[in-house]
Amino acid sequence: MKRTARLLAGSLAALALTTGVTTAAAATANAALINAIVNGGKWDAYQPTPGASTAYPGMFIDFSGDLTDGDTTYLEGASCTMGAVGTDAAGRKIGITAGHCNQRPRTINGQQFRYPGPTRGIEVSDQDRDKHPVFDRNASKWAEQHPDEPPAKPIGWIRWVDDDVCEDGETHLNSANGEAPCYAGMPFEMRGADMDSLTDYMVIEFAPEVQLSSQVLNKQGKPVMSTAGGNKPFKVNSIYTGPDGAPAVPGLFSYVEIYGGRTDRMPDPSSSPPVLTTPSNGMVTGVTNGRFRAAAGFWHGDSGGPVVIKGTGKWAGITTMLHIPTLASRLVPWVSTSAKNILDDLNDPNRPGTIGRGFTPINN
């Protein structure tokens, strides 16, 4: 175990040289590494506020509401991270996360998902919305750790999944290995999102009683601070735009910062390159078709998490996948889908359905 910690700590040091990680951040990552090895990915939920739910960017979410260990009745569902929350043109409360988190209906060894995901590219009707609930994973975890407490209640429902998404149980063309399987909630090319999808997103409608906040919260329910320093909060409260005022893609060599709900709770020592702390920030090293590669790391379960221009609340995109077509890309494999791509698709008048159209992040 000690040798493993030393090897991974060395990898962190090497990564710091290429991504500009500070000495303090590297020390924090080393501490997270040791904790991850010792605790084996376990985490404790904080007590939800009775009778009140708040949705926010960076929220760790799931699609089953039941995390009971050893339950063999259903397949374990995906967990992802909320990217941005706000309202649409009709005043509905809306959240945006990764589309590949959708749980495609299927059966494995006689098991199915408790709540299979909806069909891609078809807006979920009001009559069917309760079939596709979304849960605050902290509340689900709290219910698991406190069996005498009531079960977690949904905070909302999936209302739209982009039709250009590679889903769990399917295969997609992989640049390195030909045909490869897709797995929900695993944002990397070898086993995750389709590298050809430019609009990998889903739309969640929150229940009317759910409150919205632009502030990213951590695993303890406390405000996350920006990596820019100066005690500046990490918020998602506006859309990143260009000189013409339209949504834009972050430019080459600009800096973004991200937050991953899973990495905050369960940093994975096996991640490569190692991603053991969040939020993280890094330079944009590539831009292609509205997707961008940046040295701000994330891992499984961080999919859909918020990406903003560093030091601002300007929403630039959501985390999507690790894409490693070349040896050089192994240093910076993290690819995000731009908010511009998502909004262009969401607001397309030819898109079937209207839920989410005119999305604007909450600013509070």
**Contact assessment for residue 161 and residue 132, using Cβ atoms and an 8 Å cutoff:** no
Q: What is the pLDDT of residue 21?
A: 46
CB proximity list for 279: less than 8 A, separation 6 or greater: 216, 224, 226, 227, 234, 257, 258, 259
Distance CA 214, CA 217 (A): 9
**Contact assessment for residue 87 and residue 360, using Cβ atoms and an 8 Å cutoff:** yes
Q: 49 pLDDT exceeds 80?
A: yes
Q: What is the pLDDT of residue 179?
A: 55
Q: 57 pLDDT exceeds 90?
A: yes
- Token readout for 15 is 């990564």
Task: Provide mean pLDDT across the span 315-335.
Answer: 83
Q: What is the pLDDT of residue 78?
A: 79
Label residue 56 by pLDDT band (50, 70, 90).
Answer: very high
Label residue 26 by pLDDT band (50, 70, 90).
Answer: very low
Higher pLDDT, 65 or 257: 257
Q: What is the pLDDT of residue 2?
A: 34
For residue range 240-270, list pLDDT tens digits in order: 999 999 999 999 999 999 999 999 999 887 7
Label residue 331 by pLDDT band (50, 70, 90).
Answer: confident
Q: 27 pLDDT exceeds 90?
A: no
Label residue 100 by pLDDT band (50, 70, 90).
Answer: confident
Kindly report each contact of residues 187-190 with a partner whose C-beta sits within 8 Å and lies 24 or more positions away, as own/partner: 187/98, 187/100, 187/298, 187/299, 187/300, 187/302, 187/303, 187/319, 187/320, 187/321, 187/322, 188/321, 188/322, 188/323, 188/324, 188/333, 189/321, 189/322, 189/323, 189/324, 189/325, 190/322, 190/324
Q: 19 pLDDT exceeds 70?
A: no
For residue range 136-185, list pLDDT tens digits in order: 999 999 998 998 988 899 999 999 999 876 655 666 544 444 555 565 44
Average pLDDT, the chain: 82
Label residue 232 by pLDDT band (50, 70, 90).
Answer: very high
Rounded to 10 degrees, the C-alpha dihedral 339/342/345/346 comes to: -100
Could you give the residue range(s) of every CATH 2.40.10.10 domain in the chain?
2-40+214-346
CB proximity list for 82: less than 8 A, separation 6 or greater: 55, 56, 57, 58, 59, 60, 61, 95, 96, 97, 204, 261, 304, 305, 306
Residue keyed to tokens 């994330």: 298
CATH number for the segment(s) 2-40+214-346: 2.40.10.10
Distance CA 8, CA 1 (A): 11
